[in-house]
């Protein structure tokens, strides 16, 4: 599957009212109308909404937007948080096929010890084909499951983010902490309003970044570290996780008793694998396997295939006109 076919993963049950963005983060960093470009993140006045108020305390709001606006996306039926029988979904995601090719990045000597290991290959693989940085989501259940915290958190060390994929629920903010001893960074969220230049100093308070719509963003660094990136997916539900180098994930608090879809998406190769399962209360194990074909699945190969498909469609359209 390609990113277009997994659009449901990004926005379910998102409504059109907030204009969800499902495409890769655009380079435009202009602030939204009515906000001050120099203001601190989250200081913009929340937009008015005609939606019914959310149940008090039903979900954490870490972005300062009106609760009603967040509710329209993550809880359109305005339900109280689910309190029935619950399931945990856990497992391991592996990848088989060709080995990941190297990237074109060069890394500063000495100070960027983690960068080559994190960004030197198209994707990260652990022992026995364990796939890192895979976004795993459970969807299709009945009931409202809120996020547990106001913020999703990542760290920077050795010129590398702690993971290359970040998943968060709409309404959460992103906190980026620098655990280096010397180097500073200037992380920002590409695709979100860029309101201030923020510095993540060694051992200092986390930089807080805000996404005011669900969709796909990128964390980048203002400093000359072009490799220092991570895909950020702001989802309309809280039942998601991202795998580490062991390929393992765990998603708790899922309503039990019905059929759900468990999906695994690796952004760097733009591929999804999924499995349907009827959840029982308690533990449920779902292992998933992605496949990588270097001839088809690298960014260059996908770009070439898309260009060829476009050219073929244009040729066909031109032939139809001549008939």
For residue 40, give the CATH number of its domain: 2.60.40.420
Note whether 166 and 251 are same-domain residues.
yes
- Judge whether residue 28 has pLDDT over 60: no
d(C-alpha 113, C-alpha 270), whole Å? 27
- Judge whether residue 55 has pLDDT over 70: no
301 and 104 Cβ atoms separated by less than 8 Å: no
Which residue in 205, 262, 265 sits closest to 231, CA to CA?
265
Note whether 212 and 309 are same-domain residues.
no
Note whether 85 and 233 are same-domain residues.
yes
57 domain residue, yes or no: yes
Note whether 258 and 184 are same-domain residues.
yes
The total of structural domains in the chain comes to 2
pLDDT in tens, 198-210: 999 999 999 999 9
Note whether 31 and 77 are same-domain residues.
yes
d(C-alpha 316, C-alpha 323), whole Å? 11
Note whether 283 and 305 are same-domain residues.
no
29 and 190 Cβ atoms separated by less than 8 Å: yes
134 domain residue, yes or no: yes
Instruction: Please give the residue range of the domain that contains residue 77.
Output: 7-292
Element (H, E) at 316: helix 299-322
| Alpha-carbon distances of 291 from 97, 118, 305, rounded to whole Å | 6, 20, 18
Note whether 219 and 159 are same-domain residues.
yes
271 domain residue, yes or no: yes
Note whether 302 and 230 are same-domain residues.
no
* pLDDT band, residue 50 (cuts 50/70/90): very low
pLDDT in tens, 185-244: 999 999 998 778 899 999 999 999 999 999 999 999 999 899 999 999 999 999 999 999
Question: Nearest-5° angle of CA 258, CA 259, CA 262?
Answer: 130
Residue 248, beta-bridge partner list: 92
pLDDT of residue 322: 79
What predicted TM-score, i.e. pTM, was given to this entire model? 0.83
Residue 230, beta-bridge partner list: 219
pLDDT of residue 137: 98
């Amino acid at each position: 599957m390609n990113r277009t076919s997994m659009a449901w993963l990004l926005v379910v049950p998102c409504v059109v009212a907030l204009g969800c963005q499902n495409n890769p983060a655009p380079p435009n960093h202009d602030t939204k109308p009515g906000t001050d470009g120099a203001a601190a993140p989250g200081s913009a006045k929340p937009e008015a909404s005609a939606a019914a108020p959310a149940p008090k305390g039903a979900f954490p709001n870490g972005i300062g937007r009106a609760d009603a606006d967040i509710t329209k996306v993550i809880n359109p039926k305005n339900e109280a948080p689910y309190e029935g029988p619950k399931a945990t979904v856990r497992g391991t995601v592996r990848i088989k096929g060709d080995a990941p090719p190297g990237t074109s990045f060069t890394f500063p000597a000495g100070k960027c010890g983690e960068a080559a290991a994190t960004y030197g290959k198209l994707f990260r693989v652990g022992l026995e084909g364990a796939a890192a940085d895979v976004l795993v989501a459970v969807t299709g259940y009945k009931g409202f499951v809120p996020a547990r915290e106001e913020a999703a958190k990542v760290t920077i060390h050795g010129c590398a983010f702690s993971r290359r994929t970040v998943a968060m629920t709409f309404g959460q903010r992103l906190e980026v902490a620098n655990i280096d001893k010397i180097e500073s960074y200037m992380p920002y969220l590409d695709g979100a309003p860029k309101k201030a230049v923020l510095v993540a100093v060694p051992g200092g308070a986390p930089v807080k970044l805000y996404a005011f719509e669900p969709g796909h963003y990128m964390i980048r660094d203002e400093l000359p570290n072009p490799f220092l990136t991570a895909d950020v997916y702001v989802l309309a539900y809280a039942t998601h996780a991202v795998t580490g180098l062991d390929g393992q994930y765990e998603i708790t608090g899922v309503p039990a008793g019905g059929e759900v879809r468990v999906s695994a998406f690796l952004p760097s190769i733009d591929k999804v694998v999924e499995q349907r399962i009827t959840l029982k209360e308690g533990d449920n194990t779902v292992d998933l396997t992605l496949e990588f074909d270097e001839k088809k699945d690298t960014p260059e190969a996908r770009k070439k295939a898309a260009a060829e498909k476009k050219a073929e469609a244009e040729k066909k359209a031109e032939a139809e006109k001549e008939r």
